[in-house]
Structure 1
């Protein structure tokens, strides 16, 4: 199992942006990441300097959103949908995309994903993937 460090993740996103800007060959994962980075121009300056990005503290107290967490969640959702794991997430995602558009749908799914992770951490129980999918379905049918 691959468990990248936060530095690895940050470097990956910075490299994806650099490769995309320089017209270099992108791996399939680089291409997916670059597509999401392009949709978040507010992060471009931070991702342009890999060493600064690796060193930066994105604690809650700092009050600055963590672009790497946000982009990682986009990639997680892409992966979940591509393999329909948890089961039902693809259909729920597709319904939400039809109603809100892909980018807004992803942001709504992130809310559900964050709620699931928070509840799991708080309770000490495994993540409730059925509640997660139901949360996404609920947002799609509002």
Structure 2
């Protein structure tokens, strides 16, 4: 009987320890889920913002390129994913690719009517791309990506 009493007195200690560990694990799990759900909300919000920004850029491309818009959209999607702030820091001469159409800045950019604007201004970049496209006989040969 005495042996049974000793086991009974140890069981509550083990039970308390187990419950404490289980409680801590549950709390940790809840904290992790809360963090993941919060991150998911920010990610969803960012995707909506990006989708709206992409639609704006596509709309500007359609406006500027007119009948050549579908080809221009394919080029911009490939070059920058419609990101006006896209930069390829890999130097080409003393220039780097910048903006929606990844126009070489400053070399090619400064030869366009948009040279006074930032290559990261989406509309200016699209207008400069159209100027280059038109100057080159409505050709995409200056771009790495092709329609």
Question: Which structure has the larger Rg?
Answer: 2
More helix by share: 1
